[in-house]
Structure 1
């Protein structure tokens, strides 16, 4: 059945997923675009359904994805162009989206790591969070830990910025005290970053495994949080800027840690 009404209750509930409150209440989120939907399916991310707009779906690859998903018993919601456009978060929608189920990994359930994990303390920007997920995957880290009041990793901007890493990187949620307790109990080093760090990030000796802890875009790690770290490194700044974008700093540090292995 083709849904053509913008007032359809199912469509209204899906449209509400643009807002965090609705995502939290419904326990699901939107995945938009051929590449991201394909990646979610390949990574076996938990999906509730695909959303297809036949008149927009000109890609043969995308049509194959939808047909294979339906053939495997998956639910496919068929909608008109106008309805799909009302759900889409970007111009020129491709006619394929998915509804994913929100899942977090318990801190105790994070996979073992040769290198470690990234902990983001009150990160506020969803684009930064998505980019860090993508970089953590590329650098061989084993998951991302969200600490305190962070932005939503299932925000549409975070989903896009992750370029599919959201579906392969385990994500845990906790608070700072629990993170410290967890790391101490498992003899995992806490490595923080600050412009007041005692060690240049390029010459530091990084213990393994570790948690790379990064503070919020505005405040960084607090004095108490830095004091709890086993190692605090700094990235030297040579120009007038006194800091790097959080996602850039995270990438610099993750790849340096990987290089030291």
Structure 2
């Protein structure tokens, strides 16, 4: 394995830049940390450009080192590269890959309208994965899916299902063309989620933490839906709300 000792090494400087969206978009690469995320990336054939290993870390025996281009670094450099308080000893530089996704008649989709908190987006993606959703579409204003906090919150679910950037207006139109009903989370003029007629397919739109779903999406909806609440809370966290709605829509499928 190759070794890097200097904090001034060009590769170290380049990898550190991957915590910025600008550099991720420019290079087509992103950084993941910890054995769990790397295991998930390997299992789902995510292209890994480099593996970065802290010198005292023991690598799993089932990892194919010849295909991972491993670099060994001292603890001080691992701390520089990590954006967590307690580095896990191993990181990977991954290449982004295209994930083609188009609505189909029997598909189940989650459309994200401007969710800005990384933890919320990661949790939503993880929940969509757990519920068997066919794809997640990230609309304008949504936090970058390759943000390190998003990646950690997905717990590897990003590698299990298609997550793509797209125009929500176009996606809603295409879903309707395919006969996929579009449900939009809203309050005014909305039906309780339990009253929605069951359907074998659906597209659910959830919105920004503060302002909710854009007017354009609300106006294009087949149904506006809300979650009845029986306590005194005024609202739910968007990730929690998305989870409840996905569960109910999946439970009611024909």
**Please, what TM-score do these two structures have when normalized by structure 2?**
0.92
Match of 1:83 in 2: 77
Where in structure 1 are there 5+ consecutive unaligned residues?
none
Q: Deviations over 1:151-174 (max 9, x none)?
A: 011100000000000111101211
Query: Within the alignment, does 1:208 sit opposite 2:200 as a pair?
Result: yes
Secondary structure at the residue paired with 1:154?
A: coil
Q: Superposition RMSD on alpha carbons, in Å?
A: 1.8
Cα deviations by residue, 1:102-123 (Å, 9 ceiling, x for unpaired): 2342443x6x584501000111
| Equivalent residue runs for 1:64-83 within 5 Å | 64-65=61-62, 68-71=63-66, 73-83=67-77
For residues 49-73 of structure 1, give each alpha carbon's deviation from its aligned partner in whole angstroms, at most 9, with x where no partner exists. 2111121x14xxx3324xx3213x3
Partners of 1:107 and 1:174 within 8 A in 2 = no
Secondary structure at the counterpart of residue 191 of structure 1: strand
What is the distance in 2 between the residues matched to 1:113 and 1:185? Answer: 9
| Residue in 2 that maps onto 1:249 | 241
Q: Against the structure 1 CA distance between its residues 113 and 37, is the aligned structure 2 distance closer, same or farther, given a 3 Å change threshold? A: farther
Give the structure-1-normalised TM-score.
Answer: 0.90
SS in 2 for 1:92: coil
Secondary structure of residue in 2 paired with 1:202: helix
> Aligned ranges for residues 116-127 of structure 1 at < 5 Å?
116-127=108-119
Residue 195 of structure 1: aligned partner: 187
Paired residues of 2:111 and 2:168 also in contact (CA < 8 A)? no
Q: Measure, in 2, the Cα distance between the counterparts of 1:180 and 1:203.
A: 22
Give the total of aligned pairs: 252
